[in-house]
């Protein structure tokens, strides 16, 4: 479970980095500051995925912060580009975040119990 959460967070972070870079360089649909923030949160999520994997104290909280930042930017993007929030997409994104956090939390707990620490 912990490995799946780590890979999911790393892929989500890489996707955010790539999407922000493409929008910043080529399409420019959003403000530069929003793209830079998405880039920063993507980098933070990718880094925190490694911290989650090694069960570093605070790693899960760092991942939660990055995921919440990306969620907020996704809502900003929806409102900026379409004038409204695409609720099904946002709920799917929030469900993915909850799944990743649940996998990380319970996977870390299972690994801790398995190792006896």
Q: Please give the full DSSP string across 45-68, using - where no structure is assigned.
A: HHHHHHHHHTT-TTHHHHHHHHHH
**Confidence (pLDDT) at 88:** 93
**Confidence (pLDDT) at 9:** 96
**Confidence (pLDDT) at 82:** 86
- The confidence band for 117, taking pLDDT boundaries of 50, 70 and 90, is low
* Mean pLDDT across 41-60: 94
Q: Centre a 10 Å sphere on the Cβ of residue 57 and count the other Cβ atoms it contains.
A: 7
Query: CB pairs under 8 A, 24+ apart, for 32-39?
Result: 34/73, 34/76, 34/77, 34/80, 37/69, 37/73, 38/70, 38/73
* Mean pLDDT across 52-68: 94
């Amino acid at each position: 479970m912990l490995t799946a959460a780590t890979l999911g967070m790393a892929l989500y972070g890489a996707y955010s980095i790539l999407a922000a870079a493409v929008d910043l360089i080529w399409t420019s649909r959003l403000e530069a500051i929003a793209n830079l923030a998405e880039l920063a949160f993507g980098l933070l999520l990718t880094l925190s995925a490694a911290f989650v994997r090694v069960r570093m104290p605070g790693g899960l909280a760092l991942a939660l912060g990055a995921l919440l930042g990306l969620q907020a930017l996704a809502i900003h993007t929806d409102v900026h580009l379409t004038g409204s929030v695409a609720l099904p997409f946002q709920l799917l994104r929030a469900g993915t975040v909850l799944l990743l956090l649940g996998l990380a939390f319970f996977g870390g707990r299972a690994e801790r119990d398995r190792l006896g620490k």
